[in-house]
Amino acid sequence: MKPPITHNSAASRFEATVDGRLCVAEYRLHGAVMTMTHTLVPPPLEGHGIAAALVAAALGHARAAGWRVRPACSYVARYMQRHRDTLDLLAT
């Protein structure tokens, strides 16, 4: 499942609404470093690739903006390890 994802910059998160439920990947931006702080997919929607789609959208946005990424969220850290093409985004 690949839901439509929007960037809600005012709330510092990427969002998708699936079956009337809000799914998010939240971040904080400090200069050119996006700290990914939390992903949330309601339990009935877990296991359908929604969190992965949210994180992919966030990382794609970071890349396009020239930002580095600090994965404070364990899901984001695991995602980046599984998708090694994103490791160049890691903030030092």
Distance CA(78)–CA(28), nearest Å, equals 19
**What SS3 class is residue 13?**
strand
What is the tens place of the pLDDT at every residue in 35-46? 999 999 999 999
Question: What is the pLDDT, as a whole number, of residue 1?
Answer: 60
The structure's pTM equals 0.95
Q: Which distant-in-sequence residues (6+ apart) come within 8 Å of 45 by Cβ?
A: 18, 19, 21, 23
Task: Name, in order, each residue with C-beta under 8 angstroms of 60's C-beta and a sequence gap of 6 or more.
Answer: none
Q: What is the pLDDT, as a whole number, of residue 79?
A: 98
Question: Which residues in the chain show pLDDT less than 70?
Answer: 1
